[in-house]
Amino acid sequence: MDDWTVGIDTVLCDLDGVVWLAHQPIAGSVEAIEMLRASGRRVLFVTNNSAATLADHEQALAVVGIPARGDVVSSAMAVTQLVQPGDRVLVAAGPGVAEAVEQAGAEAVINTGQALSDPVDVVVVGMHRDFDYDRLAVAASAARSCGRLIGTNTDSTYPTPEGLLPGGGSILAAVASASGVDPVIAGKPHQPLAALVASLVATAQHPFTPERVVMVGDRPETDGLFATRLGCRFGLVRSGVTAAGHVIEGETNIDLDVVDLAEVARRLVG
């Protein structure tokens, strides 16, 4: 066992490509989480999936046998750090973002593709499957007018059992290109979600200690850089976007490079 694994007491675990593919559990992932928790380690699910509400995330995990109440943190939740109470927010995203906007004390205006009768203060873009040309036109126009554009994440794709599908980052790229407004990003690997995760991991007795945390994910450019921002270790799994044998480019530090979450659990628990 590598020395650094001994002190790990918190595992930050991505969902898509690590725990499941389109809510179908990856072999051994459910048992791996059970093993990690049985060893006394906390498992916190950190996902860039902003479409689902918090309750939907927790319910989907419960269906596959993973209790997760209070243990899910999404990029939608990080949006609360970027909008102000009283803001009128155009939500070009899923229900998870609308929920977060309202929890921040702002007004969520759902982008239906119909022209807005009143201006908005900010536009938030995330994954939503009903995105079309009319919704693009409204979101781009609103972002151009208010000058504020927030993206839940920049992930251009997400993994499914059938392969990669377009992600929320692809939608954000379209709105940013059409509006000419540079977006601020809420999710991994950016600071809003990092600050939120650090605050949730910390307790009154134990401040956030990066040396005791590992981030497990399938994207070096997202999960790996998120680990770097937090100052914690990074475990790359090859069960999602990053395929087995794919050569990693760039300077992302990878502390563990294994096939799947089950192997991560074996390395940590021993």
Residue from 9, 14, 71, 132 carrying the catalytic annotation: 14
Residue from 2, 16, 121, 255 carrying the catalytic annotation: 16
Give yes or no: 14 in active site.
yes
Are 234 and 227 in contact by the 8 Å Cβ rule? The answer is: yes
Whole-number Å distance between alpha carbons of 223 and 189: 6
CA dist 262 → 61, 256, 269 (Å): 17, 13, 11
Whole-number Å distance between alpha carbons of 100 and 98: 5
The tokens for 67 are: 């209790």
Whole-number Å distance between alpha carbons of 93 and 172: 10
The tokens for 106 are: 């702002």
Place of tokens 């093993």: 35
Give yes or no: 255 in active site.
no
Active-site amino acid positions: 14, 16
